[in-house]
Structure 1
């Protein structure tokens, strides 16, 4: 897998699955009793599995199941946690911010070099759960350990501090 093709994707290979070890660190920050919406996930997603196993109610949706993030919203939910496509980043974060609810979305740290996050979060509180290691992804059954970019959870109204840096457990 060429990690540059993910980072600079035009939507052709945005279906990179988050591995369990990269989901677990965000779970401790989910407020107790929250209903978690995973808007880019099928029931086989590690977000759905891991968050559900931690005792949270999870609502998941996916465009393949007719639930487009830009048009669909579950009736009941409190927070969003997911790994959205890396293409269309600005639009995804605009939509997430429009709900005025907490969220944690994985995104490439290189996005911080762009003007979009600065514009979107100028009057909002951007929080980052960053990691010492690069997060790996499953792309069509293949895990490339030579990934060229690092990713973090880009959050809003979710973390106890604006920047938290943690170590990722091994795969």
Structure 2
């Protein structure tokens, strides 16, 4: 019998939900597999990791790539695949057990980086301390005008939106969405909720339909990768500069549902709540999305109003 991740992958690429008369993938997996959409995306992610590593190793690695391993490896999949391929070539004509041992070593080294690598990674503790001092380069408040174009692609209310780096009363993202009739759930590091600790099961229990925020710049890649793993539709306001580099792997994992809401003018942000936005922004911003853009479109243009 085929593994569950294989069955879900076959159904996804074959658009089985449409063939069986389901309008949405979420309805199909709930009925046919008795699982949530988030769970199905986790299995699709596991399948992607297993396929890439099996190709790199020249042998099936599914026995050692559990869902947990796949989630840990997926943000580094390109680099890990390259290392597995190199190590496997060095072994030459060895038996499968020896190759799997080497693959397991590479996976363990990636999942448990040495102290130097950990020290170089953006630290949520450092972010917390920096934000407490009020001088974090990650803490920039989004103006109302930047949120307005998002209303054109969000499904209409009733919809529960997770503003997952926002505090009610100190976020124009929350203000604009609530004024438009959306039910907004907030979480933020400053109020004790670390985004990276949320699991797909916890998010599903919250009953949210879509995630929206302006993520901390220094951890934007990790943020995007974790959000993809959670399986929710989302919109993240990010700098367009280098987006093809830092967002490439997470967006490729997100697949055809990923895209960009391109804005027609640069966004000026405020570093302190209530202050006027800083003038002459040095870069353009846009909303990186999953599951929100019109079917078949991965690039949509949005107009930023002069005032909102």
CA RMSD of aligned residues (A): 1.7
Retained in 1: the 8 A contact 2:143–2:277? Answer: no
Asked if residue 69 in structure 1 is aligned to residue 205 in structure 2, the reply is no
Q: Deviations over 1:115-164 (max 9, x none)?
A: x3222222423211111210111112242221110000000111112111
Report the counterpart of residue 118 of structure 1 in structure 2.
248
Higher helix share: 2
Work out the CA distance in 2 between the residues paired with 1:31 and 1:153.
15
Q: Is the aligned partner of 1:102 residue 2:228?
A: no
Structure 2: which 5+ residue stretches go unaligned? 1-125, 128-135
Residue pairs, 1:141-156, within 5 angstroms: 141-156=275-290
Q: How many residues align?
A: 161
The corresponding residue for 1:164 is 300
2:184 corresponds in structure 1 to: 58
Any idea what SS the aligned residue of 1:25 has? Answer: helix
Q: Give the 3-state SS of the residue equivalent to 2:270 in structure 1.
A: strand
CA distance in 2, matches of 1:132, 1:53: 23
Q: Secondary structure at the match of 1:80?
A: strand
Matched, 1:78 2:209: yes
Provide TM-score, normalisation by structure 1.
0.87
Which consecutive residues of structure 1, in runs of 5 or more, have no partner in the other structure? Answer: 1-9
C-alpha distance in 2 between matches for 1:133 and 1:91: 27
Q: What's the offset of the Cα at 1:167?
A: 2.2
User: Which residue of 137, 145, 153 corresponds with 1:29?
Assistant: 153
- Post-superposition shift, 1:113? 4.4
Task: Quote the Cα distance in structure 1 between the aligned partners of 2:302 and 2:244.
Answer: 22
| Contact 2:266–2:285, Cα closer than 8 Å, also in 1 | yes
Larger fraction in strand: 1
